[in-house]
C-alpha cells in the first residue's frame, strides 16, 4: 500500500509543478494511507517537477520514518499538525506566485467570488514565522480554523482536503482567488461579498448540490 501512496504523492507534486504552484524545491505534499494510517510526504530538497516515488518518504503520525531513504520535508511538523487537527487526509503547501504575493501585503483574502466559499470564505494570513518551526505550524493551525486553506505571511499557501485530489483542487482555487484579487485591485477597489451574500451562497450550494454531478431526474 505504501508503494501506491508514494506514487500518488509524487504524481501530485508533478501535477502542481506543471500548474506553476510548486517551483524547484519550494513546496511540499503529503497524504495519508487509508489502510495503514501512515503518511507519505515529499522529501527535502527534491525538485518537485521531477518527483518520483523514491522521493517520497513514509512516516507515522509522530514523524518517525517508516520507509524511504531521504529526509522528509523541513515542513513535516506543519503537515503533521494540520493532519492532527482537522479531518484532512492530504496537505499541499506551495509558494504559488499570486498566493505568495498576497501573503506579503494582506492580513486576509476577502471573498470576491462565490467559489471562494468552497474554501470556507475569507482566507486568513498566518503571521510570519521561520519555515519549519513549531511557531509557524501553530500560526497556520490558528489561521486555518475550519477553513480548507490559509496563507502564510511572506511565505506561501497551504490547503488540505479529504483526498489528495481535493487538496490539489483547493490549492488551485486559492491561487485563482489570489490572482483575481490581484487583477481586480489593479482596476480599482475590489467589490467584496458581505456576510449575508456569503451565507446565501452556502444555502444555494447546499440546496442545489453545487459542485456534485447529478443525474437528470426522470418522471
* DSSP for residue 130: -
**For residue range 143-193, what is the model confidence (pLDDT) as tens digits?**
999 999 999 999 999 999 999 999 999 999 999 999 999 999 999 999 999
Distance CA 47, CA 24 (A): 5
Check if the beta carbon of residue 177 is closer than 8 Å to that of residue 105.
no
> Catalytic: which of 7, 19, 35, 75?
75
Handedness of CA 104, 109, 115, 121 (dihedral sign): positive
* DSSP for residue 72: B
Distance CA 104, CA 88 (A): 26
Average pLDDT of span 17-45: 95
This prediction has a pTM of 0.94
The confidence score (pLDDT) of residue 199 equals 94
Check if the beta carbon of residue 142 is closer than 8 Å to that of residue 126.
yes
The confidence score (pLDDT) of residue 1 equals 64
CA 215 to chain centre: 30
* DSSP for residue 16: H
Cross-strand pairs, 161 = 90
For residue 219, pLDDT beyond 70: no
How far CA 82 is from CA of 147, 149, 214, in Å, comes to 11, 11, 32
Domains in the chain, ordered, with CATH? 2-208 (3.40.225.10)
The confidence score (pLDDT) of residue 101 equals 98
Average pLDDT of span 15-31: 96
Alpha helices in the chain (DSSP H): 2-18, 76-84, 97-103, 134-144, 164-187, 195-208
The confidence score (pLDDT) of residue 203 equals 92
**For residue range 62-118, what is the model confidence (pLDDT) as tens digits?**
999 999 999 999 999 999 999 999 999 999 999 999 999 999 999 999 999 999 999
Q: Are strands 156-161 and 149-152 parallel, antiparallel or unpaired?
A: antiparallel
Question: H/E element holding 191?
Answer: none
The confidence score (pLDDT) of residue 206 equals 85
Average pLDDT of span 15-37: 94
19 is catalytic: no
Amino acid at each position: 500500500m505504501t508503494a501506491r501512496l508514494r506514487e500518488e504523492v509524487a504524481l501530485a507534486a508533478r501535477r502542481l509543478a506543471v500548474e506553476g504552484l510548486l517551483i524547484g524545491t519550494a513546496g511540499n505534499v503529503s497524504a495519508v494511507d487509508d489502510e495503514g494510517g501512515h503518511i507519505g510526504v515529499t522529501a527535502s530538497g527534491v525538485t518537485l517537477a521531477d518527483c518520483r516515488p523514491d522521493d517520497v518518504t513514509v512516516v507515522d503520525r509522530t514523524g518517525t520514518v517508516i520507509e524511504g531513504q531521504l529526509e522528509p520535508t523541513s515542513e513535516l511538523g506543519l503537515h503533521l499538525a494540520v493532519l492532527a487537527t482537522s479531518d484532512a487526509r492530504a496537505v499541499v503547501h506551495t509558494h504559488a506566485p499570486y498566493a505568495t504575493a498576497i501573503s506579503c501585503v494582506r492580513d486576509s483574502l476577502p471573498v470576491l467570488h462565490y467559489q471562494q466559499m468552497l474554501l470556507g470564505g475569507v482566507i486568513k494570513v498566518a503571521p510570519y514565522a521561520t519555515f519549519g518551526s513549531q511557531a509557524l505550524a501553530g500560526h497556520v493551525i490558528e489561521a486555518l480554523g475550519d477553513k480548507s486553506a490559509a496563507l502564510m505571511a511572506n511565505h506561501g499557501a497551504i490547503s488540505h482536503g479529504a483526498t489528495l485530489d481535493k487538496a490539489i483542487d483547493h490549492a488551485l482555487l486559492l491561487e485563482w482567488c489570489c490572482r483575481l484579487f490581484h487583477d481586480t485591485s489593479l482596476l480599482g477597489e475590489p467589490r467584496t461579498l458581505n456576510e449575508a451574500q456569503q451565507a446565501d451562497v452556502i444555502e444555494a450550494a447546499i440546496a442545489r448540490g453545487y459542485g456534485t454531478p447529478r443525474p437528470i431526474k426522470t418522471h
